[in-house]
Structure 1
């Protein structure tokens, strides 16, 4: 009989306390980070696990004076894409990662 080792692995990375969750668009994976663990005034969205690749920074959360700043590569995306990314990032910041959509399969035959 085998027993599973329940002790934490010494090389396992501790979860980032500032990470709020993530989302994707089919081409890229985005991660949302709060600026601080308690009462953050901003959040950042990074692409593909690279914290240096900033997609979006939203500041003014505590003052209600919101300001969005887009990263160089991302500000040229369509207005629709930017609105989707901004709205999804807000959802993840406040609620965590969205649940994956259930896929329905149809058989015609």
Structure 2
């Protein structure tokens, strides 16, 4: 995981799947209820929005082109993004379909 850029106070960090670098951005500075994942350097390529953080009912909405990825990859991407959003450490490993690590909290 790379550290947030000082130019964007809502940027929580980054991660990669070995092919693409992703950035994780909070919806607000105080008590964000959602976060966005986008391709680093391209805010228009929205990968994922995770909402319901305050209510505890997390819901993932996938961007165009990313919905077709395997369920295993999407589970890994969502869990990794949540870990980055939460300030957890993400090991710089490549994850492919069939190789998924789940986070307990």
- Same-fold status (TM-score > 0.5): yes
For 1:14 and 1:58, the matched residues in 2 are separated by: 23
CA RMSD of aligned residues (A): 1.7
| Structure 1 residues 97 and 32, CA gap change in structure 2 (3 angstroms) | farther
Which runs of 5 or more residues in structure 1 are unaligned?
1-12, 102-109
Report the equivalent of 2:47: 55
Report the equivalent of 1:78: 70
For 2:73 and 2:79, the matched residues in 1 are separated by: 10
SS at match of 1:55: strand
- Relative contact order, higher structure (CA 8 A, sep 6+): 2
> What TM-score do the two structures reach when normalised by structure 1?
0.75
Structure 1: which 4+ aligned runs deviate by more than 2 Å?
96-101
Which runs of 5 or more residues in structure 2 are unaligned?
94-105
Within 5 Å, which residues of 2 pair with 1:23-34?
23-34=15-26
For 1:82 and 1:42, the matched residues in 2 are separated by: 17
Structure number with larger C-alpha Rg: 1
For these two proteins, the number of residue pairs brought into alignment is 89
For 1:50 and 1:86, the matched residues in 2 are separated by: 19
Report if the CA contact (8 A) 2:16-2:92 is conserved: no
> What TM-score do the two structures reach when normalised by structure 2?
0.78
